[in-house]
Structure 1
Amino acid sequence: MTHIGYTMMTEQAGPRELVGHVVEAERAGFDFSVISDHSFPWLSSQGHAPYAWSVLGAAAQATTRIPLMTYVTCPTFRYHPVVVAQKAATVQLLSEGRFRLGLGSGENLNEHVIGRGWPSARVRLAMLDEAAEIIRALFTGEYVTRHGRHFQVDGARLWDVPDTPPPLGIAVSGPRSCAVAGRHADLLITTQPDRGLLDAFDAQGGAGKPRMGQLPLCYDTDRNAAVARAHGQFRWASGGWRVNAELALPTSFAQASAHTRPEDVAKTIPCGDDVDAVVEAARRFVDAGFTDLALVQVGGDHQAPFLRWAETTLLPALRDL
């Protein structure tokens, strides 16, 4: 059975609201939750970007059952891998073992703020590879010293270490990232139902490990309103990862998606209250072999009706998959 998760989108809600949303998602019966970790929203119309790790700490205390996860954190620019390891270990302790650490090579949108430039994808993956190794070593609770190509670590140690380290998830988009995931990941993360990525992960050592996808949707009893909201807040997604990872500001995303029409968005994001449309979109992930699927409800002000609909209608239908 595929596990169905809920996404706390830091780009479309404030910190207190996000915690309230995940509390309601737990009550509604979602199997897990994930949270984005951004310093900017993709579009100004989304309007938010609180600090994900503070939200995770609050969520760990406000919930009792639902697993938590970053989807995803970049451990190479805004955060040094030593700092990420400390944060992840702390959230694992606060949540009493409910945390998974999702890592990725980052987006210029979030990482440009520290002024270190934006290297090629090949370099970013090499940095992620090195960072994952450092984080793994620190989870042992031992002293760690590393003098690598990208990171220096001098006598670092975590003093509060959970009995069970957080599992590592690594986001992939092609063969090179699948190789990094094969070396380090306990689960694969991607946003597309691409069987080829799963096969590449398996070939690099990931066989038998979980694989997680993400599906945006826009629930509303008024389909036209849902399409308009999805277009207003989520049309940026049409650019694809290779483009989106390079853009630096919400204005860049607005310009890149200026010619994306509402009907274009409606072809890729289920809009309205047609449960069958969401089930069919989810089926593509299930048929590709995904074990976990995180849903994204577009619109920070429209989480409550979505969560009620999910509890009574959507989740039972998805369980049948």
Structure 2
Amino acid sequence: MLQIGYTMMTEQAGPRDLVSHVVGAERAGFDFSVTSDHYFPWLSSQGHAPYAWSVLGAAAQATERIPLMTYVTCPTKRYHPAVVAQKAATMQLLSQGRFRLGLGSGENLNEHVTGDGWPSAHVRLQMLEEAVEIIGALLSGETVEHHGAHFDVSNAKLWDLPDSPPPLGIAVSGERSCDLAGRRADLLIATEPKQELITAFERHGGGGKPKVGQLPICYDTDRDAAIARAHDQFRWFSGGWPVNSELPNPAGFAGATQFVRPEDVARSIPCGEDVEAVVEAVRPYAQAGFTEVALVQIGGAHQEPYLRWAEEKLLPALREL
């Protein structure tokens, strides 16, 4: 059965609200949760970007059942991979085995803050693969001495390790990232229901492993209000990965999306209270072979009514997929 997840969207809510929201998601019956890991919001209208790992630690203590996951952390610029491994091990202990570490090659929006420049896409993927090697070694209990093309690690060892390391997910967008994910990851992460990503992942060793997708929706009893909110806060979503990974700040995303109309957003994001519209938007993920889909409710101040609607109407309908 397809599992349905809840997204703690750090770009649209503050830390205390995010924890309260995931507690509500657990109560509503969501199967799992994921958390974005940003330094900036995509657009200024979203208005937030707290430190995701502090939020995750608090969420681990405030919840009992719901799995937690980064969706995704970039372990190459803003965070050194040795530090990411320590974070992940600690989260697995705090959550008592409910944590999964989702990794990706990152976006300029968040990683430029260290001032080291933004490498080309093929270099970013090389950096990610080297980071995954370091993280895996540390989480397996090794003492790591590593001097590679992009990272140095000197005599590193994790002193607080869980009995089982957190499963590792890798975000994919093409053949090379699917190759890396198939070989090194425990699960695939993607934001589009593309069959070719699943096929490539399985061809490189990902057969039988979970595949996690993500889908934005905008619930509101007033569909026009939902469309307006989705356009205001989520029109950046139309840019696609090649654009979204390169722009440096919210002003850049505002400029790049200035001609995106509300009706354009409404065609790509289910808006309003039509359960069947969400079911039909999720269906391509199930048909492509995804095993899990995390929903994003657009609007940090609109989570509680969404969670009630999800519990009463949406989740039961999606369980039938």
Query: Same fold judged by TM-score > 0.5?
Result: yes
Gapped regions of structure 2 (runs ≥ 5): none
1:309 paired residue number: 309
2:206 paired residue number: 206
Deviations 1:223-265 (A, max 9, x none): 0000000000000010100011000000000000000000000
Secondary structure of the 1:193 match is coil
Question: Deviation at 1:182?
Answer: 1.4
2:50 paired residue number: 50
Question: Deviation at 1:185?
Answer: 0.6
AA matched with 1:117: G
| Cα distance in 2, alignment partners of residues 184 and 161 from structure 1 | 20
Deviations 1:150-209 (A, max 9, x none): 111111000000001000000000111111111211000000000000001011111111
1:16 paired residue number: 16
2:133 paired residue number: 133
1:255 paired residue number: 255
AA matched with 2:54: S
Secondary structure of the 2:216 match is strand
Question: Deviation at 1:96?
Answer: 0.1
1:187 paired residue number: 187
AA matched with 1:294: A
| Cα distance in 2, alignment partners of residues 139 and 246 from structure 1 | 31
Are residue 143 (structure 1) and residue 136 (structure 2) matched?
no
Question: Deviation at 1:147?
Answer: 1.1
| Residues 1-321 of structure 1 aligned to structure 2 (within 5 Å) | 1-321=1-321
AA matched with 1:241: W
| Cα distance in 2, alignment partners of residues 109 and 179 from structure 1 | 25
AA matched with 1:309: W
Deviations 1:38-71 (A, max 9, x none): 0000000000000000000000000000000000
What count of residue pairs does the alignment treat as equivalent? 321
| Cα distance in 2, alignment partners of residues 232 and 319 from structure 1 | 30
Question: Deviation at 1:142?
Answer: 2.2
AA matched with 1:143: T
Secondary structure of the 1:100 match is strand
- Normalized against structure 1, the TM-score is what? 1.00
| Cα distance in 2, alignment partners of residues 9 and 227 from structure 1 | 18
Gapped regions of structure 1 (runs ≥ 5): none
Secondary structure of the 1:34 match is strand
| Cα distance in 1, alignment partners of residues 41 and 140 from structure 2 | 35
AA matched with 1:255: G
Secondary structure of the 1:263 match is helix
Moved beyond 2 Å, runs of 4+: none
Deviations 1:20-41 (A, max 9, x none): 0000000000000000000000
Structure 1 range deviating more: 199-208 or 62-71: 199-208
AA matched with 1:12: Q
